[in-house]
Amino acid sequence: MQSGISESDLIMEHRESIKMILGDMGIKILKVLRLGPMDMKGITFLSGVPASCVNGRIPVLKSLNLVKENDGYYYLDKEGEKFLEIIGSVDEF
């Protein structure tokens, strides 16, 4: 017996769940990281997100494989790029 839930419905639900977890501030951080790798100060300055929120969101972004870190610099992973495309935030800043 089929549940009546399509794969596209599940993808949409997953996307919405991630958006809720990240919130507006997490999405702002992702958008800023589209400019290239940067440290916490750069993220805070360019995104307008308070440093305490950046410090709290970065581990979440990393755990969702949307952001990677290298020597104190954070950059958007391929999954992060894909996520921004899916939610329609590619060209926004």
Length of the chain (residues): 93
CA distance 29 to 36: 11
pLDDT tens for the 93 residues of the chain, in order? 455 666 666 566 777 888 888 889 999 999 999 999 999 999 999 999 999 999 999 999 999 999 999 999 999 999 999 889 888 765 554
Task: Output the domain CATH number for residue 19.
Answer: 1.10.10.10
Q: Do the domain assignments include residue 93?
A: no
Does residue 31 contact residue 38 with C-beta atoms inside 8 Å?
no
Q: Do the domain assignments include residue 69?
A: yes
Q: Do the domain assignments include residue 81?
A: yes
pTM above 0.95, yes or no: no
Domain count, the chain: 1
Q: Do the domain assignments include residue 71?
A: yes
Q: Do the domain assignments include residue 1?
A: no
Domain that holds residue 53: 7-87
